[in-house]
Amino acid sequence: MPYTAPTDEHLHLLRNVLGYERISSTERFEDAGDDMIAAILSEAGKMAQDVLAPLQRPGDLEPAHLENGVVRTAPGFHDGYKAIAQGGWVGAAADPEHGGMGLPLTITTLVGEMMASACLSLSLNPLMTQGQIEALEAHGSDAIKALYLPKLISGEWTGTMNLTEPQAGSDVGALRSKAVDNGDGTFAISGQKIYISWGDHDFGGNVCHLVLARLPDGVPGTKGISLFIVPKFIPDADGNLGEANSLRVVSLEHKLGLHGSPTAVMEFDGATGWMVGPPHGGMAAMFTMMNNARLGVGTEGLGVAEAAYQKALEFALERKQGKTPVDGGTGTIADHADVRRMLLTMKAQTAVARAIILDTAMSTDLFNATQDASFKARAAFLTPITKAFGTDTGSEVADLGIQVHGGMGFVEETGAAQFARDVRVTRIYEGTNGIQAMDLVGRKLMDGGDAAFAMLDEIAATAKGNEALAKAEATLRETTKALLDSEMNARFAGATSFLRAFAITLGGHYLTRGADTENRRALNAFYTAHFLPQVDALCAAATAGDALLYALDTDALAG
């Protein structure tokens, strides 16, 4: 499965579209200058190409599985993981105080994209650990930080997130797992958790579970939930592994994709845990890292989109069928208008997803470096778009990739179908894309639309002299106002369409800003003709209200 890191595209976006120098000129990130990041991207790209990409098919063909209660990972995954850890990539964004590289999220996001392109299954492992590092950095006690962070950042230990239970998916507050104070600074954690990515493995070291559970005096709902760290092996104060904790992998799921990534049902049976953050403060702690987790999942979608596009392009430029319809063509199916339309759609949409994701990451970095609240608001507004549009793009581009392959796309050997299977769950986990859309029209418009209008103002400035983009921006602005004037359930009814309209309009903004060569202008012209006109229809659906959705009896849904 050949993959080439799109380093030129990354640098173009950083330098010519998003103004990366705004980050490297801050004190916090002064070490991450242009030469430095070019070197980092090049090194990560080589690892993705040479070490991780060869693991993509084996991970699918020989899934992680349970052997006598122990997870056995796919062939080569242990070595691949070691390469990630030894490169320092697990802790690339983490605080140097505990061994991290302290890189901007902007850069680690691009590294994450490349790892996801090369082998999504394996890349989920460090992604989970990164979330845990972030949670402990923000909410862990000094003792917990000192014990866990160096091991997690070095990759010696890995981390997981234990939120979901069978009856508590999108409704986390319905969880039933219990935590009882042992009176010695530890808690006894009991309950069953599902969908635990990389819940166990055979890479050695420790597996550290962050678990949401309810203390005896925890109120029902999200406000009564606390967060605990529950290691597979109980470490001593020096981090030496001791006895096994009272937890186990009950089973692994048989999934549509991501076969290389073990998805566990976990059972905690009075397992020893340590509280992270204050009692009943579990959801607040989760929220801290939720934004970056959503950025990470959007990036998974982007990574798969890029890889699926590269694969389809390579196939199209080799496959000959029929006479070429154009003079001076390649003689391959890439000359055929409809195939070319698909390839351009894939390329343009991937570029747009990348720009939105990078803008989110940069806004977070800029807030962290400057404490300017406007960047925080911008990142918060862009985050649900990043997650939903990034992952939708992953699925849609991978699906087009299958189509470009024709009959070969349906044959697993080709690898085109695996991209579509693997990426599908990214639209579901870390908050379904429907929930992202509800977040956008709900919580993210609670500022009266300030963050939305700030983005729209920026788009309007870009749109000067670009009639199609100006029209899309104006329609979107009216739609934003209309939603602000609507009841919440009417907003929810239009949420998915609104999010998509915003993403597509943002795409015109970024591609127009980046149109500095003839080829980039050509891509933008294609996008302007094929994507921007969709904004009208999406905005119409976004403001159609909720009554339409309930006018049909529930009984008649089945009729």
Between CA 242 and CA 254 the distance in angstroms is 32
Question: Shortest distance, CB of residue 438 to its own copies, whole angstroms?
Answer: 7
The residue from 421, 454, 460, 470 that contacts its own copies (CB under 8 A) is 421
Question: Shortest distance, CB of residue 479 to its own copies, whole angstroms?
Answer: 12
Site for its own copies in 317-336 (CB under 8 A): 317, 320-322, 325-326, 330, 334, 336
Beta-strand ranges (E) seen in 125-221 are 158-162, 178-181, 187-197, 207-214
Q: Show the DSSP H helices in 98-141 as ranges.
A: 105-139
Nearer to its own copies, 89 or 389 (CB): 389
Question: Shortest distance, CB of residue 106 to its own copies, whole angstroms?
Answer: 22
478 is an interface residue for its own copies by CB under 8 A: no
The residue from 224, 277, 282, 409 that contacts its own copies (CB under 8 A) is 409
Piece in contact with its own copies (CB under 8 A), picked from 83-91, 120-128, 338-346, 507-515: 338-346
From 121, 165, 132, select the one nearest 262 (Cα to Cα).
121
559 is an interface residue for its own copies by CB under 8 A: yes
Contacts of 386 (CB under 8 A, 6+ apart): 294, 295, 298, 356, 357, 360
Site for its own copies in 8-27 (CB under 8 A): 8-9
CB atoms within 10 A of CB 405: 21
446 is an interface residue for its own copies by CB under 8 A: no
Nearer to its own copies, 320 or 443 (CB): 320
Contact between 77 and 67 under an 8 Å Cβ cutoff? The reply is no
Question: Shortest distance, CB of residue 121 to its own copies, whole angstroms?
Answer: 13
Piece in contact with its own copies (CB under 8 A), picked from 43-51, 73-81, 107-115, 488-496: 488-496
Nearer to its own copies, 273 or 390 (CB): 390
Question: Shortest distance, CB of residue 11 to its own copies, whole angstroms?
Answer: 12
Nearer to its own copies, 180 or 540 (CB): 540
From the list 43, 430, 467, 478, the catalytic residue is 430
Nearer to its own copies, 145 or 530 (CB): 530
End-to-end CA distance of the chain: 47
410 is an interface residue for its own copies by CB under 8 A: yes
Piece in contact with its own copies (CB under 8 A), picked from 149-157, 233-241, 354-362, 414-422: 414-422
Active site annotation includes 430:
yes
Site for its own copies in 154-213 (CB under 8 A): 164, 167, 169-171, 173-174, 194-195
Nearer to its own copies, 16 or 403 (CB): 403
Q: What are phi and psi of 215, to 5 degrees?
A: -75, 160
Secondary structure of residue 265 in the 3-state scheme: strand
From 134, 213, 140, 136, select the one nearest 172 (Cα to Cα).
213
Between CA 154 and CA 295 the distance in angstroms is 22
List of long-range contacts for 534-537, beta carbons under 8 Å, 24+ apart: 534/500, 534/501, 534/504, 535/471, 535/472, 535/475, 535/476, 535/501, 535/504, 535/505, 536/472, 536/475
Between CA 397 and CA 424 the distance in angstroms is 11
Residues known to be catalytic: 430
